[in-house]
Structure 1
């Protein structure tokens, strides 16, 4: 089992994990917002945290909101750096082309995932080592369906 990480928090209600073993803790709206079709809004959560150095918070969509109502996080995952001390806000987008969606204060709107991030040094070189993938980019992996490559 992984050792827990203490995250200092200022909030009316701390984010909660819905089930044991969940990766993301639910963030709730601290304000009411109505999202018209295609509209986006920055929604406050009332949560301020101090992540330990070497950790990052990722704000990700809730699958139920996305699948049932088309509500997603625009910049998913949103990144909360260890040095940030402001309110965690969520950039929500209503992707439904017809139906508006109303967010009430206290509604679960996103999840916060806290992860360790190792320090990285970028080392300049003249050549990179070979790999199986090479320089293949977007769409380069494809897949076979009924004998046809896509």
Structure 2
């Protein structure tokens, strides 16, 4: 598939996620085996100590993992499982979640993701790392929850 078309499909998928729209998530890279998402850090995403809430880091990792897996399996995918390690507090202006495919078969892909925080416009600090398994959706699962 042509990269521009693939990127456009990725943007449409992200735009269809109301939670991603709420957070202002942006798709930066979507190509075979790789996805990069950015989430602007807003005050309402911080926990009591002023760090980005772990749930936001987890969301960024999970979504980037799923996009990376979907880049090789097709867009009809779900996260089967993932594990995240929080390495240090996230303090900055935006999160960057960079995910790559480690291995892909016909029905599942194992992916990894680093979540970094950008401070002062360019300084990146690794805050979390994750690994997950992305699977093609079964025809038995409804496409929407509505």
TM over 0.5: no
**TM-score, structure 1 as length reference:** 0.30
**TM-score, structure 2 as length reference:** 0.31
| Structure label with greater radius of gyration | 1
